[in-house]
Chain A
Amino acid sequence: MNPAEELKQALPGSVMSTGMQVDKPLAVIKKEELLAAAAKVKEMGFDHLSVITGIDYTDRFEVIYNLFSYKKKENLVLKVILDHNNPEVDSLTSLWKGANWLERETYDLVGIKFAGHPNLVRILLPEGWNGHPLRKDYDMDTEQFVTIGEDGEDIVSTDGSNLLRRK
């Protein structure tokens, strides 16, 4: 029995469906139950959180967690589907410390909020950047510039006159 089925048996209420993603078992989890399901999955031996991916499908967001077990040498993919207006899901930082930066990156570039994250601020782009670039409706035409403030931190603005030599 593959781990996705196993998870469904253990937590029938929180797994919406199971399937395969190419060669990896996939389980779609209810977004309210993610933390409980992830804790169960970790108990099952999936100790390595490979990657967290956020995807904008214009009508919904999906967050995908790729997990691996060093003991059983098995893969498992968890997926949650989020509402497009208010994408928010529980943070997994309490289970995997590695999730900290991965979630911050997903927040930064895709704009998905992770409830319970200890330090949910932008990581790659400076604080104050307008919009989340990996959303499909991100405005690519407006150029944003960064300058350094008095305290050494970044200030974002669309006016580059302090920075540029000429218009």
Chain B
Amino acid sequence: METEELLINMGPVHPSTHGVLRFKLRMDGEIIKECTIVLGYLHRGTEKLAEMKTYLQFIPYTDRLDYVSAMPSNYAYVKAVEELADIEVPLRAEYIRVLVMELNRIVNHLVAIGSLLMDLGASTMMMWGFREREKALQLFEMLCGARMTFSYMRIGGVREDLPDGFIPKLKEFIEDMEKRIADYEQLINNNEIFLMRMKGIATISAEEAINYGMTGPTLRGSGVNYDIRRLEPYSIYPDLDFKVCVRSEGDSYARYIVRIDEMRESLHILRQLIDNMPESSIIATQKYGIIPMTGAPYTAQTYFPRIFTPPAGEVYSRIEAPKGELGFYIVSDGTTKPYRIKIRSPSFCNLAAIPQLVRGLKIPDLIAAFGSIDVVLGDVDR
């Protein structure tokens, strides 16, 4: 019998591509023979815009890279600039930064798991995930007035101190969340359909994953005990007790389990931060010698100069964002604007492995594999 290969186009407008991604699939019956990924439908030229903005003005753009977890993007950028200009950040500011980043990690994983389950056809988890996300967003709103795009970090510290009533509300959230995670596990982990669609699907070995430059939960799901928070400790992570969640299977299910475990670890970190929150200023002052106006409130705006000139030089600084290694390569020529900023986004590098992952699988498996990688298109296309 004569058979023919079928070309299938998926996206850029498709509910399961998490934004505007396009797959070109060459099918042999039900089986994917070749998957080509077409990117760039959300390419906004952030790196070019960085060259036109001052160092401070670029902070809002980092929010819009990975819009599900904006705090780590904020932090990765300000950390790079701080390394470039050798700024020492007060301890309380570091505590607040880690606090908001871990909170954001939980939010990110909620969205990731929610949309993964939604793609598989189970909408309950989506509803539940967004219910808890809403509570976390209310905390962020108390902190900086924004729900998604925070621009909360400043070079040398954070914008505002924790407001009154934030810590009690956060404690409430942590306690609530602990129970909810157990709920999720009860709902999902032993679901027959879920297991059949996730276990043993889209497996990648540790060597392959490293070769592709995969990072974050996708790499830890393949059994590589790697976490930049541990390997190259930054901020106050050396003082914190947390374990790196690793699974050895390397399949979609392992990547999902790593995310669930990481949420628990983040809650554990949050508890330690609340208990040990030190009292100090929230923005570095010693470097600039700027005296605030008398009676002016003690905020970042009064201390930090609008025009900021780091010394000429190059720096690559990376952090463990919820999706993986997020790095900023900044070249400064000693003027008020960066000469070049290159963003190493985790989604971009993780996505590169998809064609290899899904070869020989069926289209529904592609959806599951893609969901388990957790990609945000703003981060891919920049």
- Name the contact of B352 in the complex, choosing from A22, A77, A97, A109 (C-beta under 8 A): A97
Does the CB pair B352–A125 fall under 8 Å?
no
- Name the contact of A152 in the complex, choosing from B9, B43, B342, B349 (C-beta under 8 A): B9
| B314, closest chain A residue (CB) | A21
- Given A55-B331, A64-B329, A73-B231, A96-B40 contact (CB < 8 Å): no
B66 within 8 A of A: no
From residue B271, how far is it (CB to closest CB) to chain A in Å?
28
Does the CB pair B47–A50 fall under 8 Å?
no
- Given A123-B39, A134-B48, A66-B329 contact (CB < 8 Å): yes
| A26, closest chain B residue (CB) | B314
Q: How many residues of A contact B (CB 8 A)?
A: 36
- Name the contact of A124 in the complex, choosing from B39, B84, B208, B316 (C-beta under 8 A): B39
Cα separation A45 to B344 with both chains bound (whole Å): 21
Cα separation A70 to B209 with both chains bound (whole Å): 12
- Given A50-B316, A66-B327, A70-B226, A100-B352 contact (CB < 8 Å): yes
Interface residues on B, range: 35 or more
A112 within 8 A of B: no
Cβ of A49: which chain B residues have Cβ within 8 Å of it?
213
A126 within 8 A of B: yes
Cα separation A47 to B339 with both chains bound (whole Å): 29
Cβ of B226: which chain A residues have Cβ within 8 Å of it?
70
Cα separation A77 to B47 with both chains bound (whole Å): 21
Does the CB pair B316–A70 fall under 8 Å?
no
Does the CB pair A96–B316 fall under 8 Å?
no
Cβ of A134: which chain B residues have Cβ within 8 Å of it?
47-48, 340
| A98, closest chain B residue (CB) | B213
Cα separation A70 to B214 with both chains bound (whole Å): 13
B224 within 8 A of A: yes
- Name the contact of B211 in the complex, choosing from A97, A105, A125 (C-beta under 8 A): A97
- Given A50-B344, A70-B226, A101-B349 contact (CB < 8 Å): yes
Residues 95-125 of chain A: 1 if any B CB is under 8 Å from the residue's CB, otherwise 0? 0111111100100010000000000001111
Cα separation A102 to B48 with both chains bound (whole Å): 17
A51 within 8 A of B: yes
B318 within 8 A of A: yes
Does the CB pair B40–A48 fall under 8 Å?
no
Cα separation A122 to B226 with both chains bound (whole Å): 32
B210 within 8 A of A: yes
Cβ of A133: which chain B residues have Cβ within 8 Å of it?
45, 48
Cβ of A99: which chain B residues have Cβ within 8 Å of it?
213
A14 within 8 A of B: no
| B214, closest chain A residue (CB) | A98
B348 within 8 A of A: yes
Cβ of B356: which chain A residues have Cβ within 8 Å of it?
97
Does the CB pair B316–A24 fall under 8 Å?
yes
Does the CB pair B329–A124 fall under 8 Å?
no
Which chain B residues (307-332) contact chain A, with CB distance < 8 Å?
Answer: 313-316, 318, 325, 327, 329, 331
Does the CB pair A109–B47 fall under 8 Å?
yes
List 6 A–B pairs whose Cβ atoms lie within 8 Å, in order of A's numbering.
A21-B315, A49-B213, A51-B316, A51-B344, A70-B210, A96-B212
Additional A-B contact list (16), CB under 8 Å, known A53-B342, A70-B224, A125-B43: A24-B316, A47-B210, A50-B318, A50-B327, A55-B331, A64-B314, A66-B344, A97-B208, A97-B211, A97-B353, A98-B213, A98-B349, A100-B352, A102-B213, A109-B47, A122-B40
Q: Which 6 A-B pairs have the closest CB atoms?
A: A98-B213, A51-B344, A124-B40, A53-B342, A124-B43, A101-B352
